[in-house]
Chain A
């Protein structure tokens, strides 16, 4: 038994009306402009307002800290000291080499061997994982996201209220809006490409497929409230080329693809991603690999080369780093894509962390958690630079070419050019590895000793 108060129907009506209004607004202000590539400039205004609020918030925190006479605690990304990257063996060999002029392969114990462990010990005492607590970039101002604030204790009442308001806006207003948009975008993509797939091959089909893709990516961009500034658009990738960019998050794809026509490369997934992939490939040729094919490098290279040589096909979009880096550095580019021999169009993407950190630490968050974090941030602001095309010179090999491209991208984006493999992030230097160092050393000394006593 339940009592229907006359009140209830009023509430239901109001709800119905507000939803309708919301969707109409959505349609008019967001979806239609996305279809035609027009912008009202709402996002820019939004961004400026937010900036002013953040500055105010930071001033309040600084003032609060000064009143209590405490220093503000700034997090440091890389720790405070530079650790030597050389391994145990190399260092010990180097010290011995520079010492007595003995032959290099008499690894008995030397007086100087103590030095390596001594220095490593002092390094650990000065700075270890405890000081490297923070894995997102250091921020100069607070952006009203509690996940980035380390100075929590200086917040006044006004600031707390503002922060609470921010939470309400982000979770109750922006989040459902964005989810609705994302849903619209994806479903339009799937249906649109499937429909276009039924058309006979020809110019009409190409034209339509390009525009369907573009339209849906634009809607997704608005779903994330991404405010993107494109520089040097005259260098945009052409057909028959490969577009190479640094990789910070899965949304890199959406950001690039909303300003140009690309053919995607990747592995076929199951679930929703798989549905999208299969629909997309009906409209225009993307390069999808089965899981088993991904391991076969020759097959991969061959298919990419075939695609690139066909000038009617769209340029391929590749992220050579292979994993998400936190947008302060560009790690080693894998050389596979540079062996193909096509023109490479480098693109540098740099996110502004002030509005929302786009870095995906895949060992920490899953995809869904990550997307939720993105959708509950204020906005994603980034810059894209299209660099002039590069080709492999005759005297270069693939690795040198890859490094050249990588440096160009790093320089343009203001990123640090690092030599290490991005895979290091996933495997934290395990305890077992550290123990190995000791064992390795004792093997070095003892092993040779046994050889000598045997001979």
Chain B
């Protein structure tokens, strides 16, 4: 028992957080939690790389693990102007991604709710659209379905493909209506994507809530 310092988390002494963080509307306590988590993942470095996500054992079993990790580095999600993937992200970027999962607040008006919803759906859209061309093509759709069904070793590639094809045709019929025999469906654009999510209250489900740590009643 001495004064050994054992990996104690430190509050960063960098420049003050940018005002964009204020739009996240998380409490400072929640930011502290997330920061601690960031430090765990980055092993005390200032940035996280893709490899750092390997240290989360439960994530191994998620079939779309690759896509989720990818989403963290996708520059479109990080609200950066450029395209492509970032190599590493800092804490501010981490918070930006987490902000896609904040719960709705009571005092939001129609316009805010709508924007909120669009943002969340954009996040999901980017998960499907891996080549960043603004359309979900048949190949990309197949890709996602194959990954989701990859947990089943007995599944043949053909079955996964035909399921994806079937689903894509459904999507086409919703978005474009009946197509002629020569028409080729290019892909699902973001507007079409929005159409398909109509009626699903994604904004009430796509969130992660923080627990309140209440004091526990004492005896006497």
Contact = CB atoms under 8 A, between A and B. Distances in A.
Contact of A449 (B61, B144, B163, B197): B163
B219 A352 contact: yes
Contacts of A229: 219-220
B199 interface: yes
B101 interface: yes
Nearest to A328: B216
Given A111-B196, A443-B152, A446-B152, A82 B210 contact: yes
B220 A81 contact: no
A245 to B, nearest CB: 15
Interface residues of B, number: 70
B59 to A, nearest CB: 5
Interface in B32-84: 32-34, 37, 40-41, 53, 56-59, 61-65, 67-68
A163 B57 CA distance: 37
Given A80-B210, A124-B58, A99 B197 contact: yes
Interface in A55-81: 70-71, 73, 76, 78-81
Contacts of B218: 352
A441 interface: yes
Interface string B121-160: 0001001100000000000000011001111100100010
B149 A121 contact: no
Contact of B205 (A79, A95, A114, A350): A95
Nearest to B215: A140
Contact of A114 (B127, B159, B213, B217): B127
B149 A125 contact: no
Contacts, number: 182
Given A71-B9, A115-B205, A350-B219, A129 B211 contact: no
B213 to A, nearest CB: 6
Nearest to B212: A82
B216 to A, nearest CB: 6
Contacts of A43: none
B64 A442 contact: no
Interface in A376-401: 381-383
Interface residues of A, number: 66
Interface stretch (B85-93, B106-114, B164-172): B164-172
A239 B158 CA distance: 71
14 contacts: A73-B8, A82-B209, A95-B200, A100-B174, A112-B200, A117-B64, A117-B68, A118-B64, A126-B34, A126-B208, A127-B37, A153-B4, A437-B61, A445-B163
6 nearest A-B residue pairs (beta carbon): A438-B151, A414-B217, A442-B152, A121-B68, A383-B219, A434-B61
Given A112-B200, A126-B37, A441-B148, 5 more contacts: A111-B167, A118-B68, A153-B8, A414-B217, A442-B149
